């Protein structure tokens, strides 16, 4: 008898379990929007409950969203929670429902939540709190809204996990600090450069000028007293100190390019180059050189700096000439679309290409990019005087103008320097 009763009870438990599973599955189906209507055995036979389509959409939405969503009643009990919220606090959904929401918050932010809870009934409000998950705290944003249900008023709270955002903020903070440090280092190094420029401009030039003055004295006033050997030494001192002077001035000009010089104007390149050719009048006559100048465009840029570029390039073209050939230099505009420079610009009409071409000694094209490095020289001092800074300055200026400078040459067959410049100057 007892055994039979036990069996009956066990069977009942099994049946109830099955019902529970079925009910849970139904609930799950309703939650995830798989069900639009329910048929329930009621007092008047089968009753059909349909779920409103608008509700359906929101239900799916709420269950699928990555934020926690809970609804509280007037005493702060959770009357609805989506899976995400239960997930967030690390508990099964059934343990969350019917509990006081405030219990999931860390003690120190419960007072803040009290205010949110109080004001949330009157107006939409947001606030950051921390929820307890096991032994850790998760920062969350609560978006609190009054919710008018059919039979009662509830408070809906969207719970946004801020961990990732806080972590990003922390990383951003670190990056910002690093950036700040780098920026300071850059400011310091620019300052050092300026210091160097000022040292180079005065402190180095003062003793150098004295060397020049006194070696000239030696030559002018005591030359006859010197042996032939000593006369040579004096001449070497004079020429070396002159070279050092040129070097210092060039380094100074190069370092000054780093300083902010944003004086931008419309520059008539043809006019600019005409002036430079006038400056080289003596040298052009001396070499019997022919300088051909085509019509050049007007571009936006720093006039002084662009003048320096053309000055250096024309100076080179005249300097590196072949002894047995009349020097010919041409400064002309060329077609940018030709593709021979290995460029493909989508907005080619925004740029111009100016070619400075000579028929001088040229250079091996494998050096076509290294010649723009500071102090890079391909020719021995004895044949061609120079500091090795001229092309570096030209490149730095063209870079500052967001343009390109490309060299093409072959040994003994002249050199061509192509400048690709935007018509309009692009400010930083």
Partner 1 sequence: MNVKKIILVEDDPDDCELFVTFFSPRPDVQLLPAVGNGLELIKFLDGIKTDAALPHLIVLDQNMPMMNGRQTLQFLRDHQRYARIPAVIYSTYTDTSLIADCKKLGARIVATKPIDDEGYQKMMDDFLAVI
| Among 8, 57, 185, 213, interactor with partner 1 by CB under 8 A | 213
Q: What is the total residue count of the chain?
A: 428
Stretch that binds partner 1, among 102-110, 155-163, 212-220, 325-333 (CB under 8 A): 212-220
SS3 (DSSP) at 387: coil
Q: Is 263 in the site for partner 1 (CB under 8 A)?
A: no
Stretch that binds partner 1, among 95-103, 208-216, 225-233, 377-385 (CB under 8 A): 208-216
Q: What are phi and psi of 91, to 5 degrees?
A: -130, 155
Least separation, in Å, of the C-beta of 217 and partner 1?
A: 9
- CA 148/CA 15 separation, integer angstroms: 38
Q: Which CB atom, from 248 or from 348, has the smaller least distance to partner 1?
A: 248
Q: Is 205 in the site for partner 1 (CB under 8 A)?
A: yes
Task: Identify the bridge partners of residue 421 per DSSP, sorted by sequence position.
Answer: 352
Least separation, in Å, of the C-beta of 345 and partner 1?
A: 35
Q: Which CB atom, from 57 or from 213, has the smaller least distance to partner 1?
A: 213
Q: Which of residues 219-248 bind partner 1 (CB under 8 A)?
A: 220
DSSP string, 279-320: HTHHHHHHHT-EEEE----EEEE-HHHHHHHHHHHHHHHHHS
Q: Which CB atom, from 71 or from 241, has the smaller least distance to partner 1?
A: 241
Q: Which CB atom, from 143 or from 253, has the smaller least distance to partner 1?
A: 253
Positive or negative, the CA dihedral 261, 265, 271, 273 is positive
- CA 342/CA 83 separation, integer angstroms: 59
| Among 216, 243, 377, 400, interactor with partner 1 by CB under 8 A | 216
Q: Which CB atom, from 255 or from 330, has the smaller least distance to partner 1?
A: 255
Least separation, in Å, of the C-beta of 367 and partner 1?
A: 33
- CA 353/CA 404 separation, integer angstroms: 9
| Among 2, 148, 150, 206, interactor with partner 1 by CB under 8 A | 206
Q: Which CB atom, from 191 or from 424, has the smaller least distance to partner 1?
A: 191
Q: Which of residues 172-201 bind partner 1 (CB under 8 A)?
A: 201
Q: Is 202 in the site for partner 1 (CB under 8 A)?
A: yes
Stretch that binds partner 1, among 92-100, 125-133, 202-210, 316-324 (CB under 8 A): 202-210
Instruction: Build a one-symbol-per-residue string for 304-343: x at contacts with partner 1 by CB under 8 A, - elsewhere.
Output: ----------------------------------------
- CA 410/CA 367 separation, integer angstroms: 10
Rg of the chain, C-alpha, whole Å: 42
- CA 193/CA 255 separation, integer angstroms: 7
Q: What are phi and psi of 288, to 5 degrees?
A: 55, 40
With beta carbons less than 8 A apart as the criterion, state whether 414 and 359 touch.
yes
Which H helix or E strand runs over 39? Answer: strand 37-42
| Among 210, 263, 271, 426, interactor with partner 1 by CB under 8 A | 210
Q: Is 424 in the site for partner 1 (CB under 8 A)?
A: no
Give, in order, the Cα–Cα distances in Å from 39 to each of 26, 46, 56.
Answer: 11, 6, 17
Which H helix or E strand runs over 404? Answer: strand 404-409
Least separation, in Å, of the C-beta of 341 and partner 1?
A: 35
Least separation, in Å, of the C-beta of 241 and partner 1?
A: 9
Interface with partner 1: number of residues (CB under 8 A) = 10
Stretch that binds partner 1, among 142-150, 207-215, 270-278, 363-371 (CB under 8 A): 207-215
Least separation, in Å, of the C-beta of 127 and partner 1?
A: 57
DSSP string, 66-121: SSEEEEE-TTSBEEEE-HHHHHHHTS-HHHHTTSBGGGGB-GGGHHHHHHHHHHHT
From 61, 34, 33, 38, select the one nearest 48 (Cα to Cα).
38
Could you list the residues that contact partner 1 (CB under 8 A)?
201-202, 205-206, 209-210, 212-213, 216, 220
């Amino acid at each position: 008898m007892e055994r039979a009763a036990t069996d009956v009870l066990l069977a009942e438990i099994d049946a109830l379990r099955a019902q529970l599973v079925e009910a849970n599955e139904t609930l799950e189906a309703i939650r995830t929007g798989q069900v639009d209507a329910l048929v329930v055995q009621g007092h008047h036979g089968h009753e059909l409950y349909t779920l409103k389509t608008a509700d359906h959409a929101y239900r799916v939405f709420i269950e699928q969203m990555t934020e926690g969503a809970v609804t509280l009643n007037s005493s702060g009990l959770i009357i609805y929670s989506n899976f995400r919220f239960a997930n967030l606090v690390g508990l099964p959904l059934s343990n969350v429902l019917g509990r006081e929401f405030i219990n999931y918050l860390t003690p120190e932010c419960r007072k803040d939540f009290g205010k949110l809870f109080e004001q949330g009934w009157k107006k939409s409000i947001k606030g950051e709190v921390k929820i307890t998950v096991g032994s850790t705290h998760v920062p969350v944003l609560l978006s609190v809204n009054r919710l008018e249900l059919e039979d009662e008023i509830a408070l809906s709270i969207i719970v946004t996990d801020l961990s990732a955002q806080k972590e990003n903020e922390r990383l951003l903070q670190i990056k910002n600090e690093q950036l700040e440090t780098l920026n300071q280092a850059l400011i310091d190094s620019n300052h050092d450069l300026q210091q160097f420029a000022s040292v180079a401009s005065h402190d180095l030039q003062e003793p150098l000028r004295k060397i020049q003055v006194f070696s000239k004295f030696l030559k002018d006033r005591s030359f006859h007293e010197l042996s032939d050997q000593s006369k040579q030494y004096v001449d070497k001192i004079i020429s070396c100190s002159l070279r050092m002077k040129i070097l210092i001035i060039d380094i100074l000009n190069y370092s000054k390019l780093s300083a902010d010089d944003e004086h931008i104007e419309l520059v008539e390149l043809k006019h600019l180059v005409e002036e430079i050719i006038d400056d080289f009048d003596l040298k052009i006559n001396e070499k019997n050189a022919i300088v051909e100048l085509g019509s050049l465009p007007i571009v936006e840029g720093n006039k002084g700096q662009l003048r320096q570029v053309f000055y250096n390039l024309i100076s080179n073209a005249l300097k590196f000439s072949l002894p047995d050939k009349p020097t010919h230099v041409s400064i002309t505009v060329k077609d940018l679309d030709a593709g021979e420079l290995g460029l493909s610009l989508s907005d080619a009409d925004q740029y111009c290409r100016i070619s400075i071409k000579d028929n001088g000694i040229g250079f091996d094209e494998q050096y076509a990019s290294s010649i723009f490095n500071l102090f890079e020289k391909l020719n021995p001092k004895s044949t061609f005087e120079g500091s090795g800074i001229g092309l570096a300055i030209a490149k730095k200026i063209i870079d500052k103008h967001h343009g390109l400078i490309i060299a093409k040459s072959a040994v003994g067959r002249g050199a061509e320097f192509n400048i690709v410049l935007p018509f309009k100057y692009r400010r930083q």
